Amino acid sequence: MIALLRRDLALALRSGGGFGLSLAFFLIVVMFVPFGIGPNSATLATIAPGILWIGALLACLLSLDRIFQLDYEDGSLDLLATAPLPLEGVVAMKALAHWLTTGLPLTLAAPLLGFLLNLPAGGYFWMFLSLLVGTPALSFLGTFGAAITVGLKRGGLLLSLLVLPLYIPTLIFGAQSVTLHLQQLSNATAFSVLAAISLFTFALIPFAAARALRVNLR
Partner 1 sequence: MLSVTNLGCRRGDLRVLSGVTFRLAAGQALILRGPNGSGKTTLLRTLAGLAPPDGGHIDAPEDEIAYAGHADGLKSQLTVAENLRFWAQMFGQRTIRPALDTFQLAALANRQAANLSAGQKRRLGLSRMLVTGRRIWLLDEPTVSLDSASTAVFAAMIGDHLAAGGLAVIATHIDLGLSAAQSLDITPFKARPEAHANPFLDGAFT
Which residues of the chain form contacts with partner 1 (CB under 8 A)? 3-4, 7, 10-11, 14-15, 73-76, 78-85, 217-218
- Taking the complex as a whole, how short is the minimal distance between the CB of residue 83 and partner 1, in angstroms? 5
- DSSP E strands in 69-183: the ranges are none
Answer whether 187's CB lies under 8 Å from 55's CB. Answer: no
- Taking the complex as a whole, how short is the minimal distance between the CB of residue 213 and partner 1, in angstroms? 10
**Nearer of residues 7 and 41 to partner 1, judged by Cβ:** 7
**Nearer of residues 20 and 38 to partner 1, judged by Cβ:** 20
- Taking the complex as a whole, how short is the minimal distance between the CB of residue 102 and partner 1, in angstroms? 18
**Three-class SS string for 93-111?**
HHHHHHHHHHHHHHHHHHH
**Nearer of residues 19 and 124 to partner 1, judged by Cβ:** 19
**Nearer of residues 153 and 218 to partner 1, judged by Cβ:** 218
CA 128 – CA 74 distance, rounded (Å): 37
CA 105 – CA 109 distance, rounded (Å): 6
